[in-house]
Structure 1
Amino acid sequence: MKKNQDSGPNSFEKSKMDAPKEIFLKDYKLPDYYFDTVDLSFSLGEEKTIVRANISVIPRVDGVTCPLVLDGVNLKLISVKINGNQLQEGDFELDSRHLILTSPPSVNFILETVTEILPQKNTSLEGLYMSSGNFCTQCEAEGFRKITFYQDRPDIMAKFTCRIEADKSLYPVLLSNGNLIEQGDLEGGKHFALWKDPFKKPSYLFALVAGQLESRDDTFTTCSGRKVDLRIWVPLVDLPKTEHAMYSLKAAMEWDVDVFGREYDLDVFNIVSVPDFLGAMENKSLNIFSSKLVLASPETATDADYAAILGVIGHEYFHNWTGNRVTCRDWFQLSLKEGLTVFRDQEFSSDMGSRTVKRIGDVSRLRTYQFSQDAGPMAHPVRPHSYIKMDNFYTATVYNKGAEVVRMYKTLLGSQGFRKGMDLYFERHDGQAVTCEDFFAAMRDANNADFANFLLWYSQAGTPSVNVTSSYNAEARTFSLKFSQTVLPTPGQPIKEPMSIPVAVGLVNSSGKDMPLSSIYHEGKLESVSSGGQLVYTTVLRVTKGEEEFVFSDVSEKPTPSLLRGYSAPIRLQSDLTDDDLFFLLAHDSDEFNRWEAGQILARKLMLHQVVNFQSDNPLVLDPQFVHGIKCIILDSSLDKEFIAKAITLPGEGEIMDMMEVADPDAVHAVRSFIKKQLAFELKQEFLNLVDENRSTEKYEFNDVNMARRALKNTVLGYLACLEDKETNELVLNEYKNATNMTDQFSALAAIAQKPGKARDEALANFYNQWQNDYLVVNKWFALQSSSDIPGNVENVRKLLSHQSFDLKNPDKAFSLIGGFRASLVNFHAKDGSGYKFLGELVVQLDKLNPQVASGMVSAFSRWKRFDETRQNLAKAQLEMIVSTNGLSEHVYEICSKSLAV
């Protein structure tokens, strides 16, 4: 833990690390005091900053006599007053984390504090800090306590005003939450700005930015006719790269009205882009983003970057209602705002592009990151039961699985029912800090719905495994689906209960057409499927028990079931579908997600079988039927080209390793490389044709048609690069040289970089020389090299740590180079332990600079017991080295200790 900076006569220094304290959901208690208004005044300085806080305090219960405990970290207390009277040392207690008013008044009172902070020395990127010469804040989850003494918890909601004073020449732009009330010049070359937020908010949504920035300006007129000023603030040189961000913001504002009826509520909406920031933050009316999530131009950003900017700007804007106007009561309820808002940004991006492709991408991320988390030592429910450091629970479980939980409400209720539930949620809870049960109740009550055992999704960790068997009775014309479900034990939860799982199902006849569904027998009852006389081709089965059977009636022939359409629940599904059934669905299923899924299941089976061959020293072979299936996909002109690109992409190595009893990175990498190369060999001419057909030198456009064309061309280019012949080598090199946008150029470079040698070295050097002055592009260059699977790459990455363009203090650079290295499973899990040693050493270094970044890195070790004994011992040694480091942060300690405890 960090020591407090010297805080004068009232300081309290810790000589050693505090014992980490675990916080439990069951211990939640209402605050004894609420805050009504908060008036802040900042005097920003080059050496130090003075913060004055004037807080109106209201006891929750009249006559309360308990102490008022305020959070504070790295603060120098100058003075503290109650109702204008200076407190003496006996009237309060001060330690490294708290200011405690021992006997405050038992009625409403005014608390005034003056503190000194040093933003220039704050490398944690929490609280108030400096980023490239600008002042910037990040207060979620518990950063506000690094600014001033406060009850830093989300259920303390107050109306804020903020006065900022600073040198006008150094900091001409002064921004905070709400509307600008007043501004002007002061003596000594200073100026000020006064901002007022009329809406109550928790302290984690407070924001301040001061610096030399320029804005792209626009306006948006809301559905009630209010004109909103929109501004995106960046350094002057980056202003041309903000056009897409402004487009994304306006599109999000319009979409939220159209789909959810939510109108923006202030006169101005500001976005600020800074290079030193972790992700993006939804502060009320003043969103702050890492530069990579705002800046884009065709020359410097890929299609993936454009799509990410669209989604993240939408996400942070949507928080205005799901997170800001209605916030979470405590941090255990984090998914109430994050899972819900991820779902909203997923729907937004789906409506702005290809819904199927977006769904495939979201499910792939869920399986890659969240499923592995559910199966490891950091497994936790969507609403965790406890934590040591809240920052460690901004996880795929809270965000991505949380979004799937929200999606299940919509699947069960339908679009209209879900909208009714959302409307009731906002009507009941606007201006409140609430719980997951409140959201559940709004969905239930608005629809008079039965949600038996659905709340288990919030409290029970682990990924449900569902097995389905089918049978057809030709005489009775019935088709049966039998379901069984299990959830494996997770840390702290050895016994699991059956979950409520919505399974969307269709039946496909022998001609490849969906069969109309009439009625289903379930638990002795015959339930009609059709609605209003209209034919129904997909229905949702609610699986709520350990074992359950559903019988479809009036089924004219034996169907092939299309199970879990649209991926209607976040589960692992096993079925008795044969390979022939899967190839049939791959060719005919009307649900495009399930067409993709059928291909993925076949690919996983193929890869696992070949892994066994590799481990047994048997020759690797590629099933001709699998090649034929891929060929049929790429020649199907009716399919979206981006869908084809997804459909012919093999499952990732991590996904295959997750299916093995003992993960073998070397075998999985060898098998995936073999299959990819063989597909390129077998389908070379078809792939060459696709490159020719989808190449374009026209001006870059970010739209579905062009994105899909580029996605398909660059996917097959990656296949062709696996071949060793002169023709494909020259093709890939020419694609790099002739590229007219970053999407094509970087994809070609990635293809070239698959193979070590002169061509690779020259292309990487050429790319850096071209883009060395654009740090966001250089970050891509770092990530490409660090994530490479070329043998012994750890030494190349180690050398890049000393590169002139690398800075360990910058989180985006750290994640690009060091985080990128973790993506190469064959190198990170190298048998000699070199990858583990490399990352272990860097985690210790990073922890002293930014514990949040360090904890993100160390999580790569969490599933060390999945591997062979040699790798286990090497990984465990690094975890033990890290956890024994003096001054280790709570962030890293929590992950290491839990990883070692399993």
Structure 2
Amino acid sequence: MKDEKMTTDGAPRIRLSDYRPPNHLVDAVELDIRLEPERTQVRSRLSLRPNPERPGDAPLVLDGEDLEILAIMLDGIPLARSEFVVSDRGLTIAAVPDRPFTLETTVLIDPSANTRLMGLYRSNGVYCTQCEAEGFRRITFFPDRPDVLSVYTTRIEARKSDAPVLLGNGNRSSAGDVPGTDRHFAIWHDPFPKPSYLFALVGGDLGRIVDGFTTQSGRQVRLGIYVEKGKEDRARYAMDALKRSMRWDEEVFGREYDLDVFNIVAVSDFNMGAMENKGLNIFNDRYVLASAETATDHDFASVEAVIAHEYFHNWTGNRITCRDWFQLCLKEGLTVFRDQEFTSDMRSRAVKRIQDVRLLRSHQFVEDSGPLAHPVRPETYREINNFYTATVYEKGAEVIRMLKALLGPDAFARGMNLYFKEHDGRAATVEDFLACFEKASRRDLTQFKLWYSQAGTPELAASVDQRAAEGTLEITFEQSVPATPGQPKKEPMVLPIAMGLVGEDGRDMLPEVKCEPALKNGVFELDRQRATIRFSGLKERAVPSLLRGFSAPVRLVSNLGSDDMLRLGALDSDPFNRWQALHAVMMKVLLDHQSGRSPEGSPTTADLVAALAQVGADEALDPAFRALVLSPPGDTDLTREVGHDVDPDAVHHAVEWLRELLGRQLGSTLEDIYRRHASNEPYSPDATSAAHRALRNAVLSLLVATGGDDATSLAGEHYRRADNMTDRMAGLLALSRLRGPVLDEALEDFYGRFRDDTLVLDKWFTVQAIAPDEDALDRVERLTGHPRFAMSNPNRVRALVGAFASGNPVQFNRKDGRGYAFLADHVLKLDRQNPQLAARLLSSFRSWRVLEPQRRELARRELERVAGMDGLSRDVADIAERSLG
């Protein structure tokens, strides 16, 4: 799979077109792991056989990094040093039998020195593994690739005082004391073949909560969540979310859990959000621990979603895995779609859809328009860790959603069931996946497959021509896909355009008119560059509601006027398009202001304020939906719309102007909403209660945007009266925009309450990092020297350095370039201990090319400084090179 072309740092480029099956397959893996803080011994016995798809005389090549070899035996016979070759990448044995054979190796590793947090590491006294994507090679020699599926049996041994809890994949088959020692052991067996990236073990002194689940076939499953002692009660919501996820997957996708136990472990030092290891999910503790005092409503929703996501991987990722890492979207995009559907069923489908599209636009659209753009299934990579991106996850989920829209729910369900049936226990490809839907629907998906291979966000232009006297309406659609790195020219995509026609009274007029060509369940399929759809028989003026539910991940541009958009915002039966219409009018007002026009007294602005007042005050609407309507576009949204030569100061000024305008002109309406949605009930994280808090806190944000003593008093009182973290954080964030002694008092109070709670203290760091005042960078630099700041903790780095770079665009993009230099300095410092985290931070430069010339040049210099450093990791070198390329 390795191309001869090398990158600037000497690392080979991996190409999809070079895929070759492995030389050898591993039927069974037996591991004996004896945990010690600095000298853990790993004995491995692999049952291998030649792959019939490869030549019989192929050498045995095993991956391995940072392993000290103690012994190697082939079929029980020790190998002489001349019979194998060890490099910094692994182990090669040229002469191996052309039949099944065994290979036994014994190696030493140092978990305490593993600051990369990949492989087996020890942090805060807990032994933990992270093997996706290529971490297993840091534990033992192995063909560390996802298309080698094996049955694992793991014996874990440790001192009882050091690690009283010993967990592994699968079911525990035995456990006991080691005679004559202070040690004990546990043996775990996973009967389902899996790739090495799903291997996991945990050893430590942990608290736990237990529960049970009865599957649809009557099987009993023991559930356990392991956390830091003293925090067990904060895992109760995660357990509830797990049980709801298990039931939902049975009811909606027909997927039943297959082992006798399902364990989750929460750890504080973790590069990712969570990991779906078979039967032993390992989580960043921020996605497990939640209570009213320590977690916001958003945190509770995230716990629910991430618990579900990792559980759903049991079938979409574990039972069916990826043939190679180019197929990463096959498990991640599909599983994101599944967790989005779960949350939609648990909460509000309309609100969830709006939230997902906002996330897609703010992260994936930005990625698509910059130097790091890549297809949902990339064709080449240097470092796979850098492709766990919004494109693979969020756009990958949108592709699945389009597939369902095109085929319909019944054919989609048949295709999923066929996929589960035909590929269970296999490593699959995108082609395998789509073939199942072709069989189920009898439809050719060749053109649809372009969504996996073409990068960039398509632009969909809609030209509406309405002739009221003739009772006709024509819409001409034209699509284009912009050039992206390595892909200057694109083919037309298949775009499912869900639509309606909104009448003067809000009714959907589609059933009343004739349509050519006919829609399929309200969906028009655009499969060429340009096409026209014609409606006739209209008895009144209709406004087309286009791309309902955001049926395709495109940038829609139409000639509909503000009056049309305001009608949709007031009357459209599609909640997403109702929100989108009002958001679009706000964006038009922002663009007018940002470009120097004065829209404050314009009829459009007056009509917008009236429409927002009407929606905001409508108690018949979901409060969470109203909260989203009353949340204006932010800096990132406006930057995306401006598109080039962006001045972040001007963007920020426009955004703040609109917030202040709405706060001032909607004042009485907002104050009434704020009062009506106060609650004296005990805190509950349920969706209905959270919706009321979301609306009240969105109103608070607009009210304090007006500034002055009244705003400060309101925000300060909101903070002081809060009896839950959601409201406390809303007050603190509001104060952070106002500055002054009331904020200082609140920050001091917050720190005093939570200084010993690592997760909550992350919020304290983040609030200060994202406050957009001119002192932000000086404040962040001081906080990097705070006793509670640690570069060794990924959550803390993300909470301060990452939050500043990604969550404070106006100050990160300072005109003097200090923000860029600050981030580059920390990337280089972090690269020496945790390259994966360093690379993620460096991707904050992804939009540097859209900036105005002075800032663009300063950002380029910092990227070049990073790229030019000697000894740069492959992770960071890859991001730097692609950003500059």
Fold similarity call, TM over 0.5: yes
| Aligned position for 1:639 | 621
CA spacing shift, 1:656–1:342, aligned 2, 3 Å: same
Q: Structure 2: state its 5+ residue gaps.
A: 1-6
1:42 corresponds to: 33
Pick one of 57, 82, 90 that aligns with 2:82.
90
Q: CA deviation at 1:37?
A: 0.4
* Residue 569 (structure 1) aligned with residue 552 (structure 2): yes
Post-superposition Cα deviations, 1:688-746, rounded to whole Å, max 9, x if no partner, equal 11111111132111112211110011111111112234333222211111111100111
Partner residue in 2 for 1:8: none
Amino acid aligned to 2:215: T
Match of 2:268 in 1: 275
CA distance in 2, matches of 1:861, 1:508: 42
Shift of residue 47, structure 1, vs aligned partner: 2.4
Paired with 1:311 and 1:520, the residues of 2 have a C-alpha distance of: 42
The residue that corresponds to 2:4 in the other structure is none
Distance 1:740 1:47 in 2: 45
Question: After the TM superposition, which residues 218-237 of structure 1 pair with which residues of structure 2 at under 5 Å, given as runs?
Answer: 218-237=211-230
| Structure 2 match to 1:415 | 409
Amino acid at match of 1:90: S
Q: Structure 1 residue aligned with 2:835, among 820, 827, 851?
A: 851
Partner Cα separation in structure 1 for residue 99 and residue 83 of structure 2: 17
Question: Is 1:507 equivalent to 2:490 in the alignment?
Answer: no
For 1:13, the equivalent position in structure 2 comes to none
Matched, 1:828 2:822: no
| Correspondence list, 1:766-785, <5 A | 766-785=749-768
Shift of 1:152: 0.4
User: Any conservation in 1 of the 2:513–2:538 contact (CA below 8 Å)?
Assistant: no
When the two structures are superposed, what TM-score results if normalisation uses the length of structure 2? 0.97
Cα distance between partner residues in 2 of 1:272 and 1:555: 60
1:428 to 409, 422, 428: 422
2:101 pairs with 1:109? yes
The answer on 1:877 being equivalent to 2:877 is no
Alpha-carbon distance in 1 for matches of 2:116, 2:279: 24
Give distance in 2, aligned partners of 1:648 and 1:470. 28
Q: CA deviation at 1:513?
A: 0.8
Identify the residue that residue 207 of structure 1 maps to in structure 2.
Answer: 200
Bigger mean CA offset, 494-503 vs 436-445: 436-445
1:8-51 Cα deviation digits (max 9, x unpaired): xxxxxxxx996121110100011121110000110111321000
SS at match of 2:132: coil
Deviation at 1:528, TM superposition (A): 7.0
Are 2:240 and 1:247 equivalent residues in the alignment? yes
Does the 8 Å contact 1:452/1:500 carry over to 2? no
Equivalent in the alignment of 1:138: 130
Kept in 2: contact 1:519–1:528 (CA 8 A): no
Greater shift, 392-401 or 743-752, is seen at 743-752
Residue 534 of structure 2: SS of its match in structure 1? strand
Give 1:546-585 correspondences, 5 Å limit.
Answer: 546-585=529-568
Summarize the alignment of residues 360-371 of structure 1 with structure 2, pairs less than 5 Å apart. 360-371=354-365
Superposed displacement of residue 836, structure 1: 0.7
Matched letter for residue 79 of structure 1: A
2:631 to 643, 646, 649: 649
Alignment partner, residue 23 of structure 2: 32
CA apart distance, 1:383:
0.2
Structure 1's 75 and 528: CA in aligned 2 closer, same or farther, altered over 3 A?
Answer: closer
Q: Does structure 1 conserve the Cα–Cα contact (< 8 Å) formed by 2:368 and 2:374?
A: yes
* d(CA) in 2 for partners of 1:452, 1:460: 13
Match of 2:61 in 1: 69
Is 634-643 or 423-432 further displaced after alignment?
634-643
Structure 2: distance between partners of 1:875 and 1:331: 31
Return the offset for 1:476: 5.8
Whichever residue aligns with residue 781 of structure 1, its letter is W
Alpha-carbon contact 1:463-1:572 (below 8 Å) kept:
yes
Matched, 1:727 2:719: no
| 1:265 partnered with 2:261 | no
Figure out how many residues of one structure are paired with residues of the other and give that number: 872
Residue 752 of structure 2 is aligned to residue 758 of structure 1: no
Give the whole-Å Cα distance in 1 for the aligned partners of 2:599 and 2:352.
37
SS, match of residue 216 in structure 1: strand
Distance 2:512 2:659 in 1: 44
Give distance in 1, aligned partners of 2:624 and 2:425.
42
Amino acid at match of 2:14: I
- Structure 2 letter corresponding to 1:542: E
The Cα of 1:227 is off from its aligned counterpart by 0.3
Aligned-partner Cα distance in 2 for 1:557–1:624: 26
- 2: CA distance, partners of 1:737 / 1:419: 50
Q: Distance in 2 between matches of 1:175 and 1:635?
A: 53
The farther-off stretch of 214-223 and 727-736 is 727-736
Give per-residue Cα distances to partners, 1:214-262, cap 9 Å, x unaligned: 2100000000000000000012211010110000000000000010000
State the partner residue of 2:289: 295
Give the distance between the partners of 2:513 and 2:220, measured in 1 at CA.
52
Native 8 Å contact 1:517 1:552 kept in 2: no
Q: CA deviation digits over 1:341-373, x for unaligned, max 9?
A: 000000000000011111111000100000011
| Residue of 10, 31, 43 corresponding to 1:19 | 10
Distance 1:724 1:658 in 2: 27
Match of 2:50 in 1: 59
Stretch moving more, 463-472 or 594-603: 463-472
SS at match of 2:541: coil
Within 2, Cα distance between the matches of 1:678 and 1:781? Answer: 29
**In the TM superposition, what is the alpha-carbon distance from 1:473 to its structure 2 partner?**
4.6
1:886 corresponds to which residue?
Answer: 870
1:713 lines up with 2:707 in the alignment = no
Q: CA deviation at 1:683?
A: 1.5
1:6 corresponds to which residue? none
Secondary structure of 2:550's aligned partner: coil
Matched residue type, 1:265: D
Distance 2:674 2:685 in 1: 19
Aligned partner of 2:120 in structure 1 is 128
Shift of 1:452: 4.9
Q: 2:434 maps to which residue? A: 440
- CA shift for structure 1 position 519: 7.6
2:150 aligned partner, one-letter code: A
Name structure 1 gaps, 5 residues minimum: 1-15, 530-537
Q: CA deviation at 1:490?
A: 0.4
Deviation at 1:863, TM superposition (A): 2.5
TM-score normalised per structure 1: 0.95
Asked whether the equivalents of residues 512 and 589 of structure 1 are also in contact (C-alpha less than 8 Å), the reply is yes
1:379 aligns with 2:361: no
Change in Cα spacing, 1:673 to 1:473, as seen in structure 2 (3 Å) is: closer
Aligned-partner Cα distance in 2 for 1:871–1:265: 54
For 2:104 and 2:318, how far apart are their aligned partners in 1? 26
On the 8 A contact 1:156/1:202 being kept in 2, the answer is yes
Secondary structure at the aligned position of 1:498 is classed as coil
Structure-2 residue corresponding to 1:195: 188
Instruction: Answer yes or no: is the 8 Å Cα contact 2:38–2:113 preserved in 1.
Output: no
Does the aligned pair in 2 maintain the 1:503–1:543 contact within 8 Å?
yes
Letter in 1 for 2:64: G
SS in 1 for 2:351: helix
Q: Judging changes above 3 Å, is the alpha-carbon distance between structure 1 residues 394 and 647 closer, same or farther for their aligned structure 2 residues?
A: same
1: distance between equivalents of 2:226 and 2:61? 37
Q: Is the 8 A contact 1:54 1:112 kept in 2?
A: yes
- Equivalent pair of 2:41/2:106 in contact (CA under 8 Å): yes
Residue pair 1:613, 1:620 contacting (<8 A) in 2 also: no
Equivalent position amino acid for 2:848 in 1: W
The 3 A distance-change label for structure 1 pair 191 and 548 is same
What residue identity is the alignment partner of 2:511?
L
3-state SS in 1 of match to 2:878: helix
Question: 1:424-444 CA deviation, whole Å, 9 max, x = no partner?
Answer: 000100000000111111111
Say whether residues 1:389 and 2:383 are aligned partners.
yes
Instruction: Give the aligned residue type for 2:484.
Output: T
SS at match of 1:236: coil
SS at structure 1 position matched to 2:42:
strand
| Counterpart AA for 1:728 | A
Q: Deviation per CA, 1:48-103: give whole Å up to 9, x if none.
A: 10001100101012970111111111111111111001111221111101100111
Whole-Å separation in 1 of the counterparts to 2:20 and 2:821? 43
- Supply the RMSD in Å over aligned alpha carbons: 1.5
Pairing 1:399–2:393 present: yes
